[in-house]
C-alpha cells in the first residue's frame, strides 16, 4: 500500500515538474501563446531584490538562489502575476533552479541584458564609444544563459537610454544596432526566436518619437532585424486614488499607441506618492479602454530604499508581506481574464510604417535611420558564438514547500506556503491555496480554492480598508500597526469569503 502510494506520488511529482509554459511570440500589436494562440497580456512585477547596487557584489543575482526564488514564486503565484522583469543578471551564475521554479508556476521572465556597470551598457552620453565588441560579448552571454528556457519572454536591449530631447539625438541608431546584433545572435544560436525590445522613460516630449523610431520598418525589401519586437514604458503617472484614466494621461498613451505594430506595455508602473498605494490603475490597465496595451509590471516586488516594495525580505530569508501586496492582489482579482486572453484580429494584422523622417515630430530627435555597423570582431562573434558560455536549462523542481518564515500583514505567520505546478500562464484569482496564518488556517481550508468569486464584493471592500490603514508600516513593523486591520485582510487575500474575515479577526496580536 505504502509503496503504491509512493509510486502514485512520484508519478504526480514527475508530471508536475515536467510542466512547462508555452513560449510567447509577437503578433504585431499582441503577445501570443505560441501553442494555444490566446493573447498574452503581462500581469507582472519587477523583481530586483537588493536593488541595482546588488550587481557584482558577490551576493548572487535575483535568479541564483533557489530557496528565495521558491519563496517569492509561491508569493507571486498567490498574487496572480504571470511575468517578472529581472534587471542586472549575472550570466556567469547558474539560474536553472530559479527559472525552473518560475516556469513551473506559469511565470515568464523579461531579462535586461545590460548591467549598471561601465562597459556593460550603452553610455547615453557617448554611445559610439560604448558600443564595443566586449560589450556585445557580455550581452550575448546573457542570451546564452537564458535562451533555452521556455519562459524567457524577451530581452530588453536597453533601459531609458533616451531620457530627454538631447539624448534622443545620438542614441536611437545605437539602440537599433544593439537590437539587430541581439536578434542576429538569437537567430544563430537560440532554439527559437526570442523577442527583443526596449524600455523607455516616460518623457512625453520624446516618447512618441522613440516608439515611432524603434517600431518602423527600416528594411528595403530585406529583413529588418534592428526593429524592436516590443516597447516597454516606465510610467508613474497614475498617482493615488484621486487619479483617473484622464488625469493620469493614460488616455493620451492609448491614443499615441493606437496603431502600434508591436506590443506596448508598462515595464514599470506604480506611483508611490501618496502611500499607501490603491493600485486603482490596475483596473484601467486591464480594462476595456486599454486593450491596445499589453499590460504592465508593478515596480517592485521587494522593499528597497526607494520604498516601492510589496514584500520586506531579510537576509535570513524571512519575508514580511506589506499592505501593498494585499491591495494589489485584491485589484488583480477584479481583472477580467477572458478579456485579456481575447485576441483582436485587426490588431494582429497591422503592418509597420516604413521608417521615414516624417514619423518623427521633435526637432531635436534623430531622423537618422542609418544604423551603425557592428564593431570590429562582432560579426565573427555572432557567427561563431560566445565560447564556453554557460547555457541554462530547465531542471526538475523537487522542492515545493517554502521553508522560510513568511508573515502576513497582520503579523501572523503564513502556514503551508508552497508552489503549485501549472502548465499555463499564471492568472489572478486562480489556484490560491490562500495565505493562511494561525487561527485562520482552518477557516480558509474550508472556504477552499473555489474562489471564483474573487474579485467580488469582499475583496473590493478589503482593499479599501487595506489602503486606508496599514501599509505605512512598510518596514516590517507591520505587527502593531496592522493589528486592527491586518486580520481583516487575511481573509480577503486568498479568498472572497466573508466568513474567513470574521474568523481571522480572532487572532489579533
Ligand atoms: C529575418 O531574420 C530573422 C532573424 O535573423 C530570421 O529569424 C527570419 O527568418 C528572417 N526572415 C526572413 C523573411 O528572412
Ligand atoms: C492609424 O492608421 C490608420 C491607417 O494607416 C490611419 O488612418 C490612422 O489615422 C492612424 N491613427 C493614428 C492615431 O495614427
Ligand atoms: C530574521 O530576521 C528578522 C529581521 O532581523 C527577524 O525579525 C526574524 O525574527 C528573523 N527570523 C528568523 C527565523 O530568525
Ligand atoms: C539563499 O538566501 C538565503 C536567504 O537570504 C540564505 O540564507 C542562503 O544562504 C542563500 N543560499 C545561497 C546558496 O546563497
Ligand atoms: C469579460 O470579458 C469578456 C470578453 O470581452 C466579456 O464578454 C465579458 O462580459 C466580460 N466580463 C465581465 C464581468 O465584464
Ligand atoms: C482591435 O484593434 C484595432 C486596432 O488597434 C482597434 O482599432 C479596435 O478598436 C480593436 N477592437 C477591440 C474590440 O478592441
Ligand atoms: C490551477 O490548478 C489546476 C489543477 O490543480 C491546474 O491544472 C492549472 O494548471 C493551475 N493553473 C494555474 C494558473 O496555476
Ligand atoms: C456588497 O456588500 C455590501 C455591504 O455588505 C452589500 O450591501 C452589497 O449588497 C454587496 N454587493 C454585492 C454585489 O454583493
Ligand atoms: C484615498 O487615499 C487617501 C490617502 O492617500 C486615504 O486617506 C483615503 O481614505 C483613500 N480613499 C479611498 C476611498 O480609498
pLDDT digits (tens, 9 = 90+) for 380-428: 999 999 999 999 999 999 999 999 999 999 999 999 999 999 989 999 9
**Which pLDDT tens digit goes with each residue over 144-182?**
999 999 999 999 999 999 999 999 999 999 999 999 999
- 183 within domain boundaries: no
Confidence check: pLDDT of 284 > 60: yes
Residue 15 contacts by C-beta under 8 Å, 6 or more apart in sequence? 421
Choose which residue among 69, 70, 94, 317 to substitute to test ligand 4 binding: the one with the highest number of ligand atoms within 8 A of its C-beta. 317
| pLDDT score, position 476 | 24
- Which atom of ligand 6 is the closest one to the Cα of 259? 5
- Which atom of ligand 2 is the closest one to the Cα of 353? 5
- 383 within domain boundaries: no
- 52 within domain boundaries: yes
Per the CB < 8 A criterion, the answer to whether 485 and 326 are in contact is no
Per the CB < 8 A criterion, the answer to whether 227 and 195 are in contact is no
| pLDDT score, position 60 | 86
Determine how many CB atoms are found less than 10 A away from the CB of residue 379: 14
| pLDDT score, position 430 | 62
On the question of a cis peptide bond just before residue 276, with omega within 30 degrees of 0, the verdict is yes
pLDDT averaged over the chain?
Answer: 83
- The pLDDT of 261-268, averaged and rounded, is 98
CA 507 to chain CA centroid, Å, is 34
Q: 90: domain range?
A: 1-33+42-109+235-255+264-340+395-509
d(CA 49, CA 76): 14
| pLDDT score, position 116 | 85
Please report which confidence band the pLDDT of residue 19 belongs to, taking 50, 70 and 90 as the band edges: low
| pLDDT score, position 351 | 93
Full 3-state SS string of 151-199: CEEEEEEEECCCCCCCHHHHCHHHHHHHHHHHHHHHHHHCCCCCCEEEE
- 349 within domain boundaries: no
- 437 within domain boundaries: yes
Residues assigned a catalytic role: 160, 268
| pLDDT score, position 214 | 98
| pLDDT score, position 12 | 42
**Torsion, Cα of 446, 452, 458, 460 (10° steps):** 150
Choose which residue among 431, 433, 450 to substitute to test ligand 7 binding: the one with the highest number of ligand atoms within 8 A of its C-beta. 431
Lowest mean pLDDT: which of 45-54, 105-114, 124-133, 407-416? Answer: 45-54
Nearest protein Cα to ligand 4, atom 13: 65
Distance 386 CA to ligand 7 centre (A): 38
CATH classification of the domain holding 402? 3.20.20
Full 3-state SS string of 369-429: CCCCCCCCCHHHHHHHCCCCCCCCCCCCCCCCECCCCEECCCCCEECCCECCCCCCCCCCC
Distance 339 CA to ligand 5 centre (A): 6
**Torsion, Cα of 109, 105, 339, 335 (10° steps):** -100
Confidence check: pLDDT of 217 > 60: yes
Q: Is the beta carbon of 226 within 6 A of some atom in ligand 1? A: no
Helices first, then strands: H and E counts in the chain: 18, 14
| pLDDT score, position 429 | 84
- 164 within domain boundaries: no
- The pLDDT of 484-503, averaged and rounded, is 22
Distance 474 CA to ligand 9 centre (A): 17
- 126 within domain boundaries: no
- 210 within domain boundaries: no
d(CA 43, CA 316): 29
d(CA 214, CA 164): 16
| pLDDT score, position 56 | 74
DSSP tag of 289 = G
Q: How many domains does the chain have?
A: 1
Confidence check: pLDDT of 494 > 50: no
Amino acid at each position: 500500500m505504502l509503496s503504491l502510494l509512493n509510486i502514485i506520488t512520484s508519478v504526480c511529482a514527475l508530471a508536475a515538474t515536467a510542466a512547462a509554459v508555452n513560449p510567447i511570440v509577437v503578433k504585431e500589436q499582441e503577445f501570443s501563446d505560441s501553442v494555444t494562440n490566446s493573447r498574452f497580456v503581462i500581469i507582472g512585477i519587477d523583481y530586483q531584490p537588493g536593488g541595482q547596487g546588488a550587481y557584482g557584489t558577490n551576493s548572487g543575482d535575483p535568479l541564483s538562489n533557489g530557496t528565495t526564488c521558491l519563496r517569492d514564486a509561491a508569493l507571486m503565484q498567490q498574487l496572480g502575476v504571470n511575468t517578472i522583469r529581472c534587471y542586472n543578471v549575472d550570466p556567469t551564475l547558474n539560474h536553472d533552479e530559479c527559472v525552473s521554479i518560475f516556469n513551473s508556476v506559469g511565470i515568464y521572465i523579461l531579462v535586461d541584458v545590460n548591467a549598471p556597470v561601465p562597459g556593460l551598457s550603452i553610455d547615453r552620453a557617448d554611445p559610439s564609444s560604448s558600443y564595443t565588441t566586449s560589450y556585445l560579448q557580455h550581452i550575448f552571454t546573457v542570451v546564452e544563459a537564458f535562451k533555452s528556457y521556455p519562459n524567457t519572454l524577451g530581452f530588453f536591449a536597453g533601459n531609458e537610454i533616451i531620457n530627454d530631447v538631447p539624448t534622443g539625438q545620438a542614441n536611437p541608431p545605437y539602440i537599433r544596432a544593439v537590437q539587430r546584433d541581439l536578434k542576429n545572435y538569437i537567430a544563430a544560436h537560440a532554439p527559437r526566436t526570442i523577442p527583443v525590445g526596449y524600455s523607455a522613460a516616460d518623457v512625453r516630449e520624446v516618447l512618441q518619437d522613440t516608439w515611432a523610431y524603434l517600431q518602423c520598418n527600416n528594411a528595403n525589401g530585406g529583413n529588418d532585424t534592428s526593429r524592436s519586437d516590443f516597447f516597454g514604458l516606465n510610467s508613474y503617472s497614475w498617482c493615488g486614488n484621486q487619479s483617473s484614466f484622464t488625469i493620469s494621461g493614460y488616455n493620451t498613451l492609448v491614443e499615441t499607441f493606437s496603431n502600434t505594430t508591436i506590443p506596448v506595455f508598462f515595464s514599470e508602473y506604480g506611483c508611490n506618492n501618496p502611500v499607501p498605494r490603491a493600485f486603482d490603475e490596475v483596473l484601467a490597465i486591464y480594462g476595456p479602454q486599454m486593450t491596445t496595451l499589453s499590460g504592465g509590471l508593478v515596480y517592485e516586488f521587494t522593499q528597497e530604499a526607494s520604498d516601492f516594495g510589496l514584500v520586506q525580505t531579510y537576509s535570513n530569508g524571512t519575508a514580511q508581506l506589506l499592505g501593498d501586496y494585499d491591495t494589489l492582489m485584491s485589484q488583480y482579482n477584479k481583472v477580467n481574464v477572458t478579456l485579456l486572453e481575447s485576441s483582436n484580429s485587426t490588431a494582429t494584422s497591422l503592418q509597420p510604417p516604413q521608417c521615414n523622417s516624417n514619423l518623427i515630430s521633435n526637432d531635436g530627435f534623430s531622423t537618422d535611420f542609418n544604423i551603425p555597423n557592428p564593431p570590429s570582431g562582432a560579426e565573427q562573434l555572432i557567427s561563431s558564438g560566445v565560447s564556453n558560455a554557460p547555457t541554462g536549462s530547465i531542471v526538475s523542481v523537487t522542492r515545493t514547500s517554502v521553508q522560510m518564515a513568511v508573515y502576513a500583514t497582520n503579523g501572523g505567520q503564513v502556514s503551508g506556503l508552497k508552489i503549485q505546478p501549472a502548465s499555463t500562464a499564471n492568472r489572478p484569482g486562480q489556484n490560491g491555496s490562500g495565505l493562511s496564518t494561525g487561527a485562520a488556517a482552518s477557516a480558509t481550508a474550508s472556504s477552499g480554492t473555489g474562489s471564483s468569486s474573487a474579485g467580488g464584493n469582499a475583496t473590493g471592500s478589503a482593499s479599501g480598508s487595506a489602503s486606508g490603514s496599514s501599509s505605512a508600516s512598510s518596514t516590517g513593523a507591520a505587527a502593531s500597526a496592522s493589528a486592527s486591520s491586518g486580520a481583516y485582510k487575511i481573509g480577503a487575500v486568498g479568498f472572497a469569503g466573508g466568513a474567513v474575515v470574521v474568523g481571522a479577526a480572532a487572532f489579533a496580536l
